[in-house]
Structure formats: structure tokens, C-alpha cells
Amino acid sequence: MIQYCIHTGVPRDHITVIELTIDPIVKIRGWYHRSKRQAEQNGITMEETCKGYLKWEGDELTEDKFVKAVMATIPEGGTLDAGYEDCPIAKKVDVSGRDIVSYLM
């Protein structure tokens, strides 16, 4: 995309790439709440939802238990974003606090 912009006449120094980053635990906690809401809307429990994906068997799947279970699925030295390439020229902005709007304005 950057090459296209340059090809169309945009000077390279007028292009800024922003890469949004997030703490993995914050990301997983967000997944938990979204997944729980979706499960309830479909008339099933969070435990039923995660039975196949996390191979969850047991009592109530709390947020903390969900975080631990998801983290256990990540291989040693791996990340949640397997296959994602870091952009070396990007300005990194951490959105873990979810208050990025005020930062960008």
C-alpha cells in the first residue's frame, strides 16, 4: 500500500504507518466477554463453547480460567498473532488501555 501511495505521487515523508498493539492478556479478557455474550445469545454456556476449542472440561469457566487456558494453547515462544509480521517503520501505539481515541486527537 505504501508503494502504491508513493507511485501515485504522495511523498514518502507524508506517509505515516500506525501499528496498533495490545497486551495479550487484555486481548484474551476481551475475547472472554465477547465469547460469553455470544454463547448466551445462542442459548449455550461458555463451557459448551470452549469444550472443543480449549478442550475445557470442568466447572465454571471464569475469566481468569479462560485466560490461563488460552495462554496454554500458545506454543513456547509463540504469540497470539501467529503469522503477523511486525512493520519496522510503523509507529507503535498500545491500545491495551482502550483509551486510544484521546491519544490520537
- What are the tens digits of pLDDT across the range 65-97? 999 999 888 877 777 777 778 888 899 988 888
Cα torsion at 20, 22, 28, 32 (round to 10°)?
Answer: -60
The residues, any chain, with a CB within 8 Å of residue 73's CB and separated by 6 or more, are 54
| Confidence (pTM) | 0.73
Q: Average per-residue pLDDT in the chain?
A: 85
Under the banding of pLDDT at 50, 70 and 90, the label for residue 28 is very high
What is the structure's pLDDT at 99?
Answer: 62
DSSP H helical segments within 8-99, as ranges?
A: 24-41, 46-53, 63-72
The tally of domains found in the chain comes to 1
What is the structure's pLDDT at 7?
Answer: 93
Q: State which residues form the domain around 9.
A: 2-104
